Amino acid sequence: MDFSALSQYLDRLTPDRVPGVDLEIRMGYEPIYRHAAGTGREGRPVRGDEIYWLYSATKVFTATAAMQMYERGAYTLDTPVSEFLPEYAHLTVRDGDTVRPARTVMTVGHLLTMQGGLDYELGAPEIAKARAALGRDGSTRDMVAAFAARPLSFDPGTHFQYSLCHDVLAAVIEQASGLKYEKYLRKNIFGPLGIESMTMHPTDAHFSRMPARYAWQPEEARCKPIEIFHNDYRLTDAYESGGAGLVGSLDDYIRLPEALANGGVGRTGERILKPETIALMRTDQLSGASRADFDAMGRTGYSYACGVRTMVDNAHAKSPLGEFGWDSAAGAWIMVDAERKLSAVFMMHVLSCGPAYDEYHPAIRDLIYEGIDAGQGR
């Protein structure tokens, strides 16, 4: 193995394009690479113990939790969401200038695969009204009930739209398990895998380890700091967002993809999923219009499975078919290769960084495989 080209690439990303980066790769349960570059908190070099807002990297945990409940027989992918959330029994769809009843039933599978018809309008009138009525203590269940009052963008199952689907899925998991969402994660994923830093309710101790956040400035092709530490996806103090609510460290985060890469068993020896459930989790779920919708996101070579991207055409990639994972609004990137028992997590803290998704992440992925195969005659 030779990861020198990968290290050089990460170093070149800092300091102008990305202030700080951190990447770890594991094969089996062994770390085979770790490299940090640039600065983190208060201009100090990245040390590796930083706590990040994980944003949509939260979704890999939610997908895993949803597949656990599927595996345990709590529901099938065809189970109507209304069995757990009665407000979702009579949904409407905005159709041009009119609003009509939905022609299809929203299912758990639609939530997992972002085909539920929901949107990501956090300031929508229905959400604003619920926040005003419920105040800071509005629960996940209460807020998700309010989403159902908003007309859908399309009939469930007919299109793909990145949205609040996984937030609703978190409420389904709460109802199916009888546990608040973070308590479910703690009991069924964090605890078994030895994850300690993750939470949806960060304290000053978490913020003291959090790097400054930046926002990408496309006109300057660089980023600038933003002086905020809140997360807009936390709709209330009590709300636990299955789509974007977690904070955590790289060291803790990698314990999940590491387990998924090793047949569902963590380095602790605890199993969180069966191999056949992971196989379903990474199986392409999109076709027709939904696939075209996903393609418009620009994740070249990928389609969308059960809460994760999945490689379906590797003509322009070094990773194999079935490689899966996701990313985040601040540029984090997660990769799982079950065939090689390979897992990787990349962290940065820059919001709206377009180049992260179509440039940095694909380059890092391919350099990982080139580094692994170096000297092996491949």
Which pLDDT belongs to residue 339?
A: 96
Indicate the pLDDT class of residue 376, thresholds 50, 70 and 90.
low
Which pLDDT belongs to residue 244?
A: 98
Indicate the pLDDT class of residue 378, thresholds 50, 70 and 90.
very low
**Does residue 229 have a pLDDT over 80?**
no
The pLDDT of 204-224, averaged and rounded, is 88
Render pLDDT for 182-193 as a digit per residue (tens, 0 to 9): 999 999 999 999
Cα dihedral 118, 237, 128, 290, rounded to 10, equals -10
pTM of the shown model = 0.96
The pLDDT of 276-294, averaged and rounded, is 98
Domain limits of the chain? Answer: 4-60+180-373, 71-177
Question: How far apart are alpha carbons 143 and 128 in whole angstroms?
Answer: 10
Which pLDDT belongs to residue 375?
A: 64
Indicate the pLDDT class of residue 306, thresholds 50, 70 and 90.
very high
Q: In what order do the strands lie in the sheet with 213-217?
A: 222-226, 213-217, 350-351
Q: Three-state SS string across the chain, please?
A: CCCHHHHHHHHHHCCCCCCEEEEEEEECCEEEEEEEEEECHHHCECCCCCEEECHHHHHHHHHHHHHHHHHCCCCCCCCEHHHCCHHHHCCEEEECCEEEECCCCCEHHHHHCCCCCCCCCCCCHHHHHHHHHHHHHCCHHHHHHHHCCCCECCCCCCCCCCCCHHHHHHHHHHHHHCCCHHHHHHHHHHHHHCCCCCECCCCHHHHCCCCCEEEEECCCCEEEEECCCCCCCCCCCCCCCCCCCCEEEHHHHCHHHHHHHCCCECCCCCECCCHHHHHHHCCCCCCHHHHHHHHCCCCCCEEECCCCEEECCCCCCCCCCCCEEEECCCCCEEEEECCCCEEEEEECCEECCHHHHHHHHHHHHHHHHHHHHCCCCC
Which pLDDT belongs to residue 11?
A: 96
**Does residue 17 have a pLDDT over 90?**
no
Q: What is the mean pLDDT of the chain?
A: 96
Q: Which of 161-165, 222-226, 324-328 has the lowest mean pLDDT?
A: 222-226
Which residue in 280, 64, 105 sits closest to 188, CA to CA? 64
Which pLDDT belongs to residue 222?
A: 82
Render pLDDT for 28-79 as a digit per residue (tens, 0 to 9): 999 999 999 999 888 899 999 999 999 999 999 999 999 999 999 999 999 9
Render pLDDT for 331-367 as a digit per residue (tens, 0 to 9): 999 999 999 999 999 999 999 898 999 999 999 999 9
What are the phi and psi torsion angles at 35 (to 5°)? -145, 130
**Does residue 377 have a pLDDT over 60?**
no
Render pLDDT for 92-127 as a digit per residue (tens, 0 to 9): 999 999 999 999 999 999 999 999 999 999 999 999
Question: How far apart are alpha carbons 351 and 348 in whole angstroms?
Answer: 9
Regarding the domain delimited by 4-60+180-373, which CATH topology (the fold level of the hierarchy) does it fall under? Answer: Beta-lactamase (3.40.710)
Residues 6+ apart with CB under 8 A from 370: 5, 6, 318
The pLDDT of 142-163, averaged and rounded, is 98
Task: Return the ∠ at Cα 334 (arms to 212 and 74), rounded to 5°.
Answer: 115
Task: Return the ∠ at Cα 327 (arms to 321 and 332), rounded to 5°.
Answer: 125
Regarding the domain delimited by 71-177, which CATH topology (the fold level of the hierarchy) does it fall under? Answer: Methane Monooxygenase Hydroxylase; Chain G, domain 1 (1.20.58)
C-alpha dihedral sign at 191, 33, 28, 304: positive
